[in-house]
Amino acid sequence: MSETLLETRGVWQRFGGLVANSDVSISVGRGEIVGLIGPNGAGKSTLFNLIAGVLPPTQGSIIFDGHDVTKEPATARCARGIGRTFQVVKSFESMTVIDNVIVGALIRTTVMREARRKAHEVLEFCGLGARADVLANQLIPSEKRRLEVARALATEPKLLLLDEVLTGLTHTEAEKGVELVRRVRDTGVTVLMVEHVMEIVMPLVDRAIVLDLGKVLTEGKPADVVRDPKVITAYLGDRHAVSA
């Protein structure tokens, strides 16, 4: 890839005696869609939270857009251009859909009219235009996922972190989600997505990074990664690796 947007350098995260990430160094280039995959407990969510700035890494550094953001809190990283969604959706339940998105838009402008216009634009983009004036708690789960994406997009991110936005959706919903992610990328936003449903992510991503037991197991083109014996072992155990 032409230029690196995000880089983690030797990142470690320990929770007491548990090592969630050990020496993780990954990089994401501008304009890429990168999938972060791995079995349960591989440390995907932890790495994700480290990048989003929810907690500082125990060791190592995180470089975003040429700046060392390791010590910056989530709010500052948002201002720099890291947008995220949550695996367990965190809508502002008592607010309308449009107001949810306005909160995101307000980091780029304090003019309410402008924030509202931007929010409408993003909602249309995400296919939620018709639901703008509904309270967020009345949305169905797939719409809530879209709202998460819309809210993050309203902050005008350079890098969008998607935490299992496609998991638990019906096949049709997931396909619409895939299409949305592609359109997001086409607007120039880099996407890093955590997903463990391989069959959905693989056709979508340009590159996959596989984590296992807190370490980078392998990375590469999706087609190569799924055939990698190490990956199959990580997901399915030794017996299957042999037959592959």
Partner 1 sequence: MNDAHTKRRRRDLIVAAVLALLAACAPLVVKDVYIQNIMVLTLMYAALSQAWNILGGYCGQISLGHALYFGLGAYTTALLFTKFGVLPWFGMLGGGVLSALIALGLGYPTFRLRGHYFVIATIVIAEIALLLFLNWDWAGAALGIDIPVRGDSWAKFQFTRSKLPYFYFALAFCCVAFLITWWLEDSKWGYWWRAVKDNPDAAESLGVVVFNSKMGAAAVSAFLTAIGGAFYAQFVSYIDPDSVMTFQFSLLMALPAVLGGIGTLWGPVLGAAILIPLTELTRSYIGGSGRGVDLILYGTVIVVIALARPEGLIGLFSRKPAPKGVPQ
Q: 147 near 91, Cβ under 8 Å? A: yes
**Minimum CB–partner distance for residue 138 and partner 1 (Å):** 5
Distance CA 131, CA 35 (A): 30
Total residues in contact with partner 1, by rule CB under 8 A: 43
Give the sheet arrangement for strand 4-15, strand by strand.
Answer: 18-29, 4-15, 59-64, 67-68
Of the two residues 6 and 232, which places its CB atom closer to partner 1 in the complex?
Answer: 6
Using the rule CB under 8 A, give the single segment among 24-32, 58-66, 109-117, 193-201 that binds partner 1. 109-117
Asked whether position 135 contacts partner 1 by CB under 8 A, the answer is yes
Beta-bridge partners for 212: 215
Residue 137 touching partner 1 (CB under 8 A):
yes
Cα 206 from Cα 201, distance rounded (Å): 10
Smallest gap from Cβ 104 to partner 1, in A, equals: 5
Question: For partner 1, which residue of 103, 198, 213, 241 counts as binding (CB under 8 A)?
Answer: 103
Residue 8 engages partner 1 in binding (rule: CB under 8 A): no
Q: Which is nearer to partner 1, 74 or 241 (CB)?
A: 74
Helical ranges in the chain per DSSP H: 44-52, 74-80, 97-105, 112-125, 141-154, 171-186, 198-201, 222-227, 229-236, 238-243
Single-letter code of the amino acid located at 92: F
Cα dist from 18 to 14, 179, 194, 199, whole Å = 6, 37, 21, 30
* CB closer to partner 1 out of 122 and 232: 122
Q: Which is nearer to partner 1, 102 or 216 (CB)?
A: 102
What is the C-alpha separation between 91 and 38, in angstroms, rounded? 27
Scan residues 59-88 and list those touching partner 1 (CB under 8 A).
Answer: 73-75, 78-79, 83-84, 86, 88
- Binding of partner 1 by 127 (CB under 8 A): no
Contacting residues toward partner 1, per CB under 8 A: 52, 54, 73-75, 78-79, 83-84, 86, 88-95, 98-99, 102-104, 106-107, 110, 112-113, 116-117, 120, 132-133, 135, 137-139, 141, 144, 151-152, 154-155
